[in-house]
Amino acid sequence: MSRPLVAVGGVVFRGEKVLLVRRKHPPNQDRWAIPGGKVEFGETLRDALRREMKEETNLDVEPRVLMAVVEVLAEGYHYVILDFLCEEIGGSLTPSSDAKEAKFLSTEEWRSLDLSPTTREMLERFFRGEKIPLFLTEISK
């Protein structure tokens, strides 16, 4: 990869529970994370997020507010991810594409799982009431 890739993520709540997926592929394979993926050329951020959420979770969402800007630098990867708070507007939760599992999890549940580092930090900071958008960096080379 010769330059950073732009990606989007969707933070969706059902009551007090947040939607997370267990990744099928690197980076963060087998870890739980916010669903999302790469923006395709010519696609708006919001359209990319709607597509990725449908592909990974079968949910229809409407992106509302920028929640976090996340930069991930890992062996062979460099992503700039824009995570949006989203409203669930349709579909039925079914993992597919890049997700082994997709679940709405309580704080107690997600805190006990192997989350990607930036997902954990973002959720902890959000639930502490920090102002959004949050800016996070993960470096694991």
133 prior amide bond cis, ω within 30: yes
Instruction: State how far the Cα of 39 lies from the Cα of 125, in Å rounded to an integer.
Output: 26
Instruction: State how far the Cα of 1 lies from the Cα of 125, in Å rounded to an integer.
Output: 31
Residue with structure tokens 């039925």?
Answer: 92
Catalytic residue positions? 101
Instruction: State how far the Cα of 68 lies from the Cα of 135, in Å rounded to an integer.
Output: 6
100 and 80 in contact (C-beta within 8 Å)?
no
Torsion of CA 116, 63, 16, 118, to 10 degrees: 20
